[in-house]
Structure 1
Amino acid sequence: MSNENDSAHPSAPPRSHGGDLRGAVKLAIVATTGITDLVEEMHRTIASGPGILGQPLSRPVRALTRLVYGPIRGITNLVGTSIDVVLSQLGSLLGESVPGPERDATLAALNGVLGDYLAETKNPLAISMDLRFEGRPLSLEPTALASAMPGATGKLLVLVHGSSMNDRQWNRGGHDHGASLAADLGYTPVYVRYNSGLHISTNGRELAAQLEALVKAWPVPLEEVTLLGHSMGGLVSRSACHIAALEHLTWLPKVRNLVCLGSPHHGSPLERGGNLVDVLLGISAYSAPFARLGKIRSAGVTDLRYGNVVDADWTDRMRFARSADLRHGLPLPEGIACYAIAGTTSKTPSLSRRSGGASLRDALLGDGLVPVESALGIHTRPSLGLAFPEDHRWIAMGTAHLELLSSTAVYEKLREWLDR
């Protein structure tokens, strides 16, 4: 059994202007080189002649395009490397910067789209997961944690944001579900910040480990834990519970509630639509180069095609291949009160029972990003359906995806459920 301090996660180092600039330069190099590849491929395809004739000019054109576009790649990489070296030397002179909401939102969006690549290439723009209180990262060493949270209570609320977002964005329109639940029900809110471009199961595993360290270091006797996830955050929370069950982590038995706000348990048609565009663009030799642009989607985004939450849902599979829903199915965690809220932009409820009160149109449209049935865990295949009790499902009428974070009606439902 390891010591509590062994599992403590040090807070991430502060971001610097130099690091951000180096990260941006690396991305610019990759983007320029990638576009050069795309243009060269189009040039070669068009100039090689019709495919029906066997493209008789392909060899001379290939040689010509190599001469034209090769130096562009070389210059791009040389200049980029030089800039990166200079910025590395200037990093300490530029000093540490204080992140602001706009900068954090930009980094979160970038990580949502390219986060897996940023992490793989060790780009300084990659976000590392940490747990936060009042906007600051927490050290999970017991003494430091107690100092940072002198008013901690025995009721822990863990808030997990959605794709391409960050912990600051729980505050929307002057309202923060976490702060309000703290004031009304005595919770201590801890916010997760993570790289949403990584696989959901990767973030679930890391969240499980960090919650283990947090619970062991919690400064007062812990009575209960509630997980509140918005959008992808609900899937990450489910994945973390799964890992905790497999590894017999001590925090899982303390979880009393799991609430998912607009979480795409069975995916989002927007990601599936993007996947179809990839296939259609790849049909023609002339449009095939553009299919590369469609593949600028992170592992986290492609997980949202069907709602992958465990490694087996994506391991040894081509992320951009057109395929059916091959998920293994992960039931809701046992012994935990699980709740689901779906949004719909419709303001008029219907009589349909299958979608918990949403009409067919509303079920498909949902909150603009997530269909009602997906958010409520309803699926035509019993093995994939999530058994939320009927009174643990609720539809927020006239509420778009991000409005779930600021809706008074949504908050009242949260307070009602969590005050039981």
Structure 2
Amino acid sequence: MPSPLQLRGTSRLATEAITGVIDLVEAMHAQIARVPLTAPRERTTGITGLVYRSVRGMTRLVGGGLDLALDALAPLLGQVDADQASAAQAALNGVLGDYLEATANPLATPMSLRPLVEGATGEPLVFLHGLCMNEAQWRRDGADFPAALAALGYRPLGLRYNTGRPVWRNGAELAELLDDVPGPLTLLGHSMGGLVARSAIAQAGGRSWPRRLRRLVTLGTPHLGAPLERGGQQVQQLLALSAYSRPFAALAARRSAGIRDLAHGSLLEADAGRASRLPLPDGVACYAVAATTAREPAGPPARWLGDGLVPVASALGQHREATRRLAFTDTAVFAGLGHLALQTDAAVLRQLQAWLARR
């Protein structure tokens, strides 16, 4: 059942979303109604402005009352499926996670490590999920990667984190968290999770765990960026060209910092808005898996299509400039797979088992 804090956070977010839409509509109204050649404005005036201010005020008043009502009603609410609630919160964090954190909204997901296989012992194997996901996504559609890899003698640990935060911020917090995980380490990241793992390694400084890191494995990670998000940035710039569509540019800009970092594969705070040039860590066996929705793993169709979100070259770190290529120990490309199927496909699991069985 959602906690009272989560319910209050939901009501606050709903209130803020409604007022945001009101702001957007008023901005469009102001642009359309303004006299030509006058300065652009985001607020209407006179009676029209009074109407918008009144609607805004009533929305905030109702929202505040809803906060109090939910506190009182929370004990009376029926049982809610915890897995569905957790998945919805993970998706919300991916889209608005930086905003939730900045406004101290209780729906912001704190970073934590959770055991994925009860009773498993051995070397820690940290699973890092991707955007809008949580650690439960490693077990779905009949697949169970944690259990299969625990059979090799690993202790699977699932990282849960707010994927809407900047990658570098999650990386810095993970670098601190891994200090408390003893023994030889293996990091397995899907999509954004691979970027967070590399960011943590880069920001570990004088910590001890990088010396214990044995393997780094990434699945469909946009090491060289994701063109789909770069397209989103171009749409935002085009919307800003017209006074009438400019209010929508503000809405497009609401994409979380985590999503924007996927555009170029940014790993550090100084890399915001551009590609990182960090090499893979020395002395660590590094593996990368890419997928393509094409029928064959090689050739132009495979390169163009990628897994639907991440091109093959990006997932394998194959940059045109030799100095920016990532020197993976080994790589694999799977045909006929989409981005999310990398966490459930039997052939991908067999490849992981082959790599991780090597001590």
Q: Which amino acid aligns with 1:160?
A: L
* Correspondence for 1:401: 339
In the alignment, does 2:304 pair up with 1:364? Answer: yes
The answer to whether the 8 A contact 1:234-1:259 is kept is yes
In the alignment, does 2:4 pair up with 1:37? Answer: no
- Match for residue 170 of structure 1 among 119, 129, 138: 138
- In 1, the alpha carbon distance for the partners of 2:305 and 2:158 equals 29
Residue-by-residue CA offset, 1:128-183 (whole Å, 9 max, x unaligned): 11111138xxxxxxxxxxxxx7x453311110000100000101222122210111
Q: Which amino acid aligns with 2:335?
A: M
- In 1, the alpha carbon distance for the partners of 2:125 and 2:79 equals 29
- In 2, the alpha carbon distance for the partners of 1:168 and 1:176 equals 10
- In 2, the alpha carbon distance for the partners of 1:208 and 1:331 equals 17
* Correspondence for 2:292: 344
- Match for residue 147 of structure 2 among 164, 171, 179: 179
In the alignment, does 2:153 pair up with 1:205? Answer: no
Residue 270 of structure 1 aligns to a residue whose secondary structure is helix
Pair 1:328–1:167, CA change in 2 (3 A):
closer
Q: Which amino acid aligns with 1:333?
A: P
Pair 1:201–1:56, CA change in 2 (3 A):
closer
The answer to whether the 8 A contact 1:266-1:307 is kept is yes
Deviation at 1:59, TM superposition (A): 12
The answer to whether the 8 A contact 1:17-1:96 is kept is no
- Match for residue 327 of structure 2 among 367, 387, 394: 387
Q: Which amino acid aligns with 1:405?
A: Q
Deviation at 1:204, TM superposition (A): 0.8
* Correspondence for 1:70: 53
- Match for residue 201 of structure 2 among 230, 233, 241: 241
Residue-by-residue CA offset, 1:103-131 (whole Å, 9 max, x unaligned): 11111100000001111111111111111
Pair 1:387–1:65, CA change in 2 (3 A):
farther
- In 2, the alpha carbon distance for the partners of 1:297 and 1:65 equals 30
- In 1, the alpha carbon distance for the partners of 2:351 and 2:90 equals 28
Deviation at 1:96, TM superposition (A): 11
- Match for residue 413 of structure 1 among 342, 348, 351: 351
Deviation at 1:99, TM superposition (A): 5.8
Residue 57 of structure 2 aligns to a residue whose secondary structure is helix
In the alignment, does 2:105 pair up with 1:119? Answer: no
* Correspondence for 2:188: 228
Residue 283 of structure 1 aligns to a residue whose secondary structure is coil
Pair 1:207–1:59, CA change in 2 (3 A):
closer
Residue 240 of structure 1 aligns to a residue whose secondary structure is helix
Deviation at 1:58, TM superposition (A): 7.9
Deviation at 1:56, TM superposition (A): 9.5
- In 2, the alpha carbon distance for the partners of 1:33 and 1:74 equals 9
* 1:255-270 correspondence to structure 2 within 5 Å: 255-270=213-228
Unaligned runs of 5+ in 2: none
Pair 1:305–1:415, CA change in 2 (3 A):
same
Deviation at 1:362, TM superposition (A): 1.6
* Correspondence for 2:34: 48
In the alignment, does 2:324 pair up with 1:376? Answer: no
Pair 1:304–1:418, CA change in 2 (3 A):
same
The answer to whether the 8 A contact 1:16-1:96 is kept is no
Q: Which moved more, 1:159-168 or 1:199-208?
A: 199-208
Residue-by-residue CA offset, 1:285-315 (whole Å, 9 max, x unaligned): 111111122122111000001001111112x
* Correspondence for 1:5: none
The answer to whether the 8 A contact 2:290-2:316 is kept is yes
- C-alpha RMSD of the superposition: 2.3
Unaligned runs of 5+ in 1: 1-14, 136-148, 216-221, 320-325, 350-357
Deviation at 1:63, TM superposition (A): 3.3
Pair 1:152–1:72, CA change in 2 (3 A):
same
Deviation at 1:411, TM superposition (A): 0.9
In the alignment, does 2:232 pair up with 1:274? Answer: yes
- Match for residue 87 of structure 1 among 58, 61, 70: 70
Deviation at 1:19, TM superposition (A): 2.0
Residue 225 of structure 2 aligns to a residue whose secondary structure is coil
Q: Which amino acid aligns with 1:377?
A: G
- Sequence identity, in percent? 49
